[in-house]
Amino acid sequence: MEEKVYVEEEIDLRDLFKTIWDRRIFILVFTLVVTLLAIVYVSIKTPIYEVKALLEIGSYKTEIVNEQGQTTIETKNLDDANELSKKLSMIFIDLKENEKDKEFEITKINLSKGLKNFIEVSSESTSNDLGIKGLNEIVTYTKAIHSKLLKDVKEKNDLEIKNIDLLISNIQTDKIVNINKKIELYDQNIINLEEQMKSVIETLKNMNTLDYSITALKLMEKRDISNEIISNKSKLYDLIEQKENITNIDLNKLLERKKLLETLSLPHNFKNTEIVGNILTDDNPIKPKKKLIVVVAFVTGFILAIFMVFFIQFVNGIRKEK
């Protein structure tokens, strides 16, 4: 029984191969026609090129004051990479999805893997030049927004520098001048009081010691003058210390902060968004994939031709039975 089944299967396979061999010309011609059509298609199909670029988000230097009041210089980015990629995708991909007669098409705006503050951008077009044009539109749009942010930061620093200059001018022309005047006044008061003290002392030396009432008055006057001299000297020392603090502490702090802001405002501390390196182009189009299409067409045509041969044989068999 098993030998009978084996013989029948062997006969069936022979019939199948015989059918294919008998129809070999049809199969060959059909396969060649499908393959030629594929070749014609890939030849007349407009090639699509892809260009890629890596976009680095701009930044600027700024001061950060911690809880202890210590100032450090840090680099601050102009935008969040994730938020910026979403925004650009909406503007240049989603909103232009149904736009007709496009010179280029932005296909990808994603975060760069493993690189912080970098965005990968891809554009497809009928030529590399048009693809580059598409990337440049994204770069131009982004740089315009970020240049405004940099301008605002620069203007903020410049305004603070002007305010510091006004404070320095106020200290130098008003506070210190006023303190100097008060110092001169107290100096003169002390000189006058010391002269009065000398006069009182001389008077006490020449007075009749038996006149106790006058002597007591002069001693009280001497005490008052002495107290006044001490008071004036104390105020004088306070003014001198105040002047030194303003000069050595307040004024120096303002000058240091001004210098810091001027350093932060230097051009090399402002960096706009830009393309890193060169825009990547390829002379070979990504669409259509000619070799793949031709190979797939050949295989598909061959399989379809065999299927059609068996189908035709099946139909003819049904007709013969009828």
Q: Which residue has the tokens 């008077």?
A: 203
Mind listing the pLDDT tens digit for each residue in 25-58? 888 999 999 999 998 988 888 899 999 999 999 9
Residue 184: both structure tokens together = 């001169």
What whole-number distance in Å separates Cα of residue 185 and Cα of residue 96? 79
pLDDT of residue 152: 94
What whole-number distance in Å separates Cα of residue 50 and Cα of residue 105? 10
Q: Are 64 and 202 in a shared domain?
A: yes
The partner residues of 270 in beta bridges, in order of sequence, read: 60
pLDDT of residue 10: 52
Name the DSSP letter for residue 267: G
Task: For residue 218, give every residue at least 6 positions away whose Cβ sits within 8 Å of its Cβ, in sequence order, or none.
Answer: 200, 203, 204, 207
Q: Are 165 and 307 in a shared domain?
A: no
Q: From the CB of residue 230, how many other CB atoms can be counted at a distance below 10 Å? A: 12
pLDDT of residue 6: 46
Is residue 306 a contact partner of residue 27, using CB atoms and an 8 Å limit? yes
Q: Are 149 and 297 in a shared domain?
A: no
In angstroms, what CA-CA distances link 85 with 27, 131, 145, 215, 279? 52, 19, 14, 95, 18
Q: Are 14 and 107 in a shared domain?
A: no
Mind listing the pLDDT tens digit for each residue in 218-276? 788 888 888 998 998 898 899 888 888 877 778 888 888 899 999 999 999 999 999 99
In angstroms, what CA-CA distances link 94 with 85, 110, 197? 12, 14, 93
Collapsing DSSP to helix, strand or coil, 284 comes out as coil
Number of domains in the chain: 2
Q: What is the residue type of 128?
A: N
Q: Are 112 and 6 in a shared domain?
A: no
**Chain-centroid distance, C-alpha 72:** 19
Is residue 104 a contact partner of residue 123, using CB atoms and an 8 Å limit? yes
pLDDT of residue 48: 92
pLDDT of residue 2: 47
Is residue 47 a contact partner of residue 288, using CB atoms and an 8 Å limit? yes
Collapsing DSSP to helix, strand or coil, 53 comes out as strand
Name the DSSP letter for residue 90: I
The partner residues of 201 in beta bridges, in order of sequence, read: none
Q: Are 303 and 268 in a shared domain?
A: no
Q: Are 267 and 228 in a shared domain?
A: yes
Nearest of 307, 316, 300 to residue 26 by alpha carbon: 307
Q: Are 123 and 253 in a shared domain?
A: yes
pLDDT of residue 11: 45
| Average pLDDT of adjacent 10-residue blocks, the chain of 322 residues | 47 74 86 91 88 94 79 89 92 88 90 87 93 93 95 93 90 83 89 87 70 76 87 89 82 88 91 92 87 90 88 78 64
Ramachandran angles phi, psi of 226, nearest 5°: -60, -45
Q: Are 6 and 154 in a shared domain?
A: no
Q: Are 297 and 224 in a shared domain?
A: no
Q: Which domain holds residue 85?
A: 50-280
The partner residues of 54 in beta bridges, in order of sequence, read: 120, 276
pLDDT of residue 97: 84
Is residue 123 a contact partner of residue 50, using CB atoms and an 8 Å limit? yes
Q: What is the residue type of 238?
A: D
Q: Are 227 and 299 in a shared domain?
A: no
Task: For residue 42, give every residue at least 6 positions away whose Cβ sits within 8 Å of its Cβ, in sequence order, or none.
Answer: 288, 290, 293, 294
For strand 274-280 and strand 49-56, is the pairing parallel, antiparallel, or unpaired? antiparallel
In angstroms, what CA-CA distances link 207 with 57, 71, 187, 196? 92, 69, 30, 16
Q: Are 124 and 41 in a shared domain?
A: no
